[in-house]
Copies of this chain bind each other. A is one copy, B any other.
Amino acid sequence: MASIENGFQQLNEKSLVDYIKSTPSLSSVLGDSDNLDIKEVGDGNLNFVYIVTSSSSSLVIKQALPYIRCIGESWPMTKERAYFEATTLKEHGRLCPEHVPEVYHFDHPMSLIGMRYLAPPHIILRKGLIAGVEYPLLAEHMAEYISKTLFYTSLLYTTTTEHKRAVAEFCGNVELCRLTEQVVFSDPYKVSQYNRWTSPQLDHDAEAVREDNDLKLEIAQLKSMFCERAQALIHGDLHTGSVMVTQDSTQVIDPEFSFYGPMGFDIGAYLGNLILAYFAQDGHATEGNDRKAYKKWILKTIEETWNFFYKKFIALWDENKDGSGEAYLLQIYNNPDVWQQVQTKYMRDLFHDSLGFGAAKMIRRIVGVAHVEDFESIVDAGKRADCERKALNLAKMLLKQRRKFVSIDEVISAILQADP
């Protein structure tokens, strides 16, 4: 057993049993805690995750260690991230309980969260996308989650007083923000020991990213927005690996990167990862399944996600237009014309931000440190490189030209054009 420091102790399958037994908020969920089955399943990059099962129930325990698990103690990372993850799970869960798993317990000194176990058939969405599984409710569910969590934590709904209090609190999650700044907005655009790509096939493509002045101009603006703009409490890492799904359930997990940042970063991360999933499909095609129908479904999901989001977000705004939010006072925006104009402007800017951040997230997954299983699972390097190059070229174009796009339809057309 590891030593105890400031109340922190790294647990293992064995010591976790004692911990649970002495913690009523956990043992009460499990009922009989005499015969616990404990399985470590942390396949993410950062933390230890245990599934705990009793004779009658189950739960998940997640513990953060003071370094990045997949790299080791050489890359220290504050375990305080668990505090922000628990806080955001609870806050986003309050705003959208349908799509955020319940938190039973948080132990701050231990950086430990006890939460609902998302039982099979729940799987990570990314794995479902690789397997070619359609989720008919996914677009609607994700639009629901994104619209509610972003709207209610923005100045469209909250007062300046509450907003600044919350912004100040989440400034504490600075180490995770710095990690994003480095791996999303910096490393792919310079020589870095952590960058990798399908080599030698993409050697020239990676170099081209590092030598593209226009791209660097655009990424600088997005980086500034990421660092400076406290628009809403964003998840901060909303890729398809942070979503668990079944045919009728969609659950968003792992908000340890959460902070008050630009809304477009969440929307873009999610849509960008769907686009990556799209471009990976050709690598997963087999003789029996050319994935053509599935690619169409992904495109439809991208389109519907934005369109549902747009509708839901505007509906929330309209419903709360005489609420406590101080950004757009009804006494100022007091006629239907101007009301519609400000909403249209707001959503167009958000659309452009989302496309920019989405493109940045795509680029970093192809030439940066952390790749996606969508591409990594394509064994044939030549085939993988072809898929990645198409995605990379689309992302570069989106990043530079995003302000020219007016609707998600045009983005779908651009995807189709990049995949002739």
Option from B216, B228, B338 in Cβ contact (under 8 Å) with A217: B338
Minimum CB distance partner of A211 in chain B: B335
Q: Is the interface of A mostly helix, strand, loop or mixed?
A: helix
Any B CB within 8 A of the CB of A5: no
Give residues of chain A (192-245) contacting chain B, Cβ–Cβ below 8 Å: 213, 216-217, 220-221, 223-224, 227-231
Give residues of chain A (108-131) contacting chain B, Cβ–Cβ below 8 Å: none
On whether the beta carbons of B342 and A190 are closer than 8 Å, the reply is no
On whether the beta carbons of A333 and B227 are closer than 8 Å, the reply is no
Any B CB within 8 A of the CB of A315: no
Q: Which residues of B contact A345 (CB under 8 A)?
A: 217, 220-221
A184 → chain B, closest Cβ, in Å?
13
A187 → chain B, closest Cβ, in Å?
9
Q: Which residues of B contact A338 (CB under 8 A)?
A: 213, 216-217
Q: Which residues of B contact A334 (CB under 8 A)?
A: 190
Q: Which residues of B contact A224 (CB under 8 A)?
A: 155, 327
- One of A144-152, A168-176, A291-299, A301-309 at the interface: A168-176
Give residues of chain A (330-350) contacting chain B, Cβ–Cβ below 8 Å: 331-335, 337-338, 341-342, 345
Option from B163, B191, B217 in Cβ contact (under 8 Å) with A227: B163
On whether the beta carbons of B186 and A161 are closer than 8 Å, the reply is no
On whether the beta carbons of A327 and B172 are closer than 8 Å, the reply is no
A-B contact pairs, 5 of them (CB 8 A): A160-B174, A161-B178, A165-B174, A178-B326, A223-B327
